[in-house]
C-alpha cells in the first residue's frame, strides 16, 4: 500500500499553494498548519511534508515556529524542506522537531556538504529533494535551473548512503493535471534500491491508485486536498482498504 503524505506549504506562517513554483501565483488557505496537521493525524496519516517557502526563497529557515508547534504535539513524523543551506540551519530544523531534512539546493551547489550530511546523519534522515523542470534540477525555491539531472544527483550521492529521493515535476506542481507517471516508473525501475516519493500533479484518488499499482512507495498530496479534489474521508478509506 502506497503511503500518502500530505503537504503543507508555508508562507508567513500560513498554508499556501503555488502553481508551478511561482510565488506570484499563490493561494492562501484559511486553515492553520497546526489544525491541518491535527486533521491528518486524526485519520491515521503518519508522515507530513512541511515546506518553508519563505526559507526556500531566502536561504534560511523562516517558519521554524510552525515546525515547533506541530512537532510539539507528537502527532506524526515530519519531513522539512526549505532554507537548509548550512549545517547550522540543518541543526535548527532538527532541533525544532523535524524527523527528516529535505536537501535540494545544497546537493546541487555544495555536493561535498550533502555527502558530509549523509555520512553524519544517514540516509534515513537526509532526503534528496530533486525538483525537475525540463529534465534539469532547479534550486533556490525553483527560481534557478541547474545543468544537473536527477540521475547525476543519485549517482553522486548513492555511495554515501542516499536512500530517499522526493522527485517533484515542477510543470505539474499545483496544476492538478495528474503526475508524471512515466518519470516515476522509469526511476523506480532504474534505481530499485532508492525509495522515491511522487510529488506534483496529484488531482484525485485515482492518481494515487495509479501510483500504487505501479508500485511506488510514497506520494505527496497538497493542492488536491485544499481544493477538495480529494477528501480526508477518501484518504482514510483508501488507507484502510486491505
- Single out the residue of 112, 87, 104 nearest to residue 52, CA to CA: 104
CB atoms within 10 A of CB 159: 9
User: Which residues are paired to 102 by β-bridges?
Assistant: 81, 127
Name residues of the chain where pLDDT drops below 70.
19-22, 141-142, 173-175, 242
Q: Which three cell numbers stand for residue 197?
A: 516519493
Q: Can you give the pLDDT at residue 144?
A: 79
Q: Can you give the pLDDT at residue 223?
A: 87
CATH class of 3-239: alpha beta
Q: Can you give the pLDDT at residue 176?
A: 72
pTM for the predicted model, two decimal places? 0.92
CB atoms within 10 A of CB 61: 24
- Single out the residue of 1, 17, 14 nearest to residue 200, CA to CA: 17
Q: Can you give the pLDDT at residue 173?
A: 67
Q: Report CA-CA distances (Å) from 234 to 2, 4, 16, 155, 181.
A: 14, 11, 22, 37, 21
User: Which residues are paired to 17 by β-bridges?
Assistant: 27
Q: What is the 3-state secondary structure (H, E, C) of the chain?
A: CCEEEEEEEEECCEEEEEECCEEEEEEECCCCHHHHHHHHHHCCCCEEEEEEHHHHHHCCCCCHHHHHHHHHCCCCEEEEECCCCCHHHHHHHHHCCCCEEEECHHHHHCHHHHHHHHHHHCCCCEEEEEEEECCEEEECCCCEECCCCHHHHHHHHHHHCCCEEEEEECCCCCCCCCCCHHHHHHHHHHCCCCEEEEECCCCCHHHHHHHHHHCCCEEEECHHHHCCCCCHHHHHHHHCCC
Q: Can you give the pLDDT at residue 23?
A: 75
Which residues form the catalytic set?
9, 131
CB 47 within 8 A of CB 220: no
Q: Report CA-CA distances (Å) from 19 to 37, 47, 52, 111.
A: 22, 23, 16, 28
Q: Can you give the pLDDT at residue 53?
A: 92
In degrees rounded to 5, what are phi and psi of residue 72? -65, -20
Q: Can you give the pLDDT at residue 31?
A: 81
Amino acid at each position: 500500500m502506497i503511503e500518502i503524505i500530505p503537504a503543507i506549504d508555508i508562507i508567513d506562517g500560513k498554508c499556501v499553494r503555488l502553481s508551478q513554483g511561482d510565488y506570484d501565483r499563490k493561494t492562501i488557505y484559511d486553515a492553520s498548519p497546526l489544525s491541518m496537521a491535527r486533521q491528518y493525524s486524526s485519520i491515521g496519516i503518519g508522515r507530513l511534508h512541511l515546506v518553508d517557502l519563505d526559507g526556500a526563497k531566502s536561504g534560511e529557515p523562516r517558519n521554524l515556529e510552525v515546525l515547533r508547534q506541530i512537532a510539539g504535539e507528537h502527532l506524526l513524523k515530519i519531513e522539512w524542506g526549505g532554507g537548509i543551506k548550512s549545517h547550522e540551519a540543518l541543526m535548527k530544523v532538527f532541533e525544532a522537531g523535524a524527523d527528516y531534512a529535505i536537501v535540494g539546493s545544497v546537493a546541487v551547489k555544495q555536493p561535498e556538504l550533502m555527502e558530509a550530511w549523509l555520512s553524519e546523519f544517514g540516509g534515513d534522515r537526509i532526503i534528496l529533494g530533486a525538483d525537475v523542470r525540463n529534465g534539469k534540477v532547479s534550486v533556490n525555491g525553483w527560481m534557478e535551473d541547474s545543468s544537473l539531472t536527477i540521475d547525476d544527483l543519485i549517482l553522486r550521492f548513492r555511495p554515501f548512503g542516499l536512500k530517499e529521493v522526493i522527485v517533484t515535476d515542477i510543470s505539474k506542481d499545483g496544476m492538478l493535471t495528474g503526475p508524471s507517471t512515466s518519470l516515476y516508473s522509469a526511476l523506480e525501475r532504474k534505481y530499485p534500491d532508492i525509495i522515491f516519493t511522487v510529488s506534483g500533479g496529484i488531482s484525485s484518488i485515482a492518481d494515487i491508485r495509479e501510483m500504487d499499482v505501479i508500485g511506488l512507495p510514497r506520494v505527496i498530496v497538497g493542492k488536491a486536498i485544499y481544493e477538495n479534489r480529494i477528501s480526508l474521508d477518501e484518504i482514510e478509506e483508501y488507507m484502510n482498504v486491505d
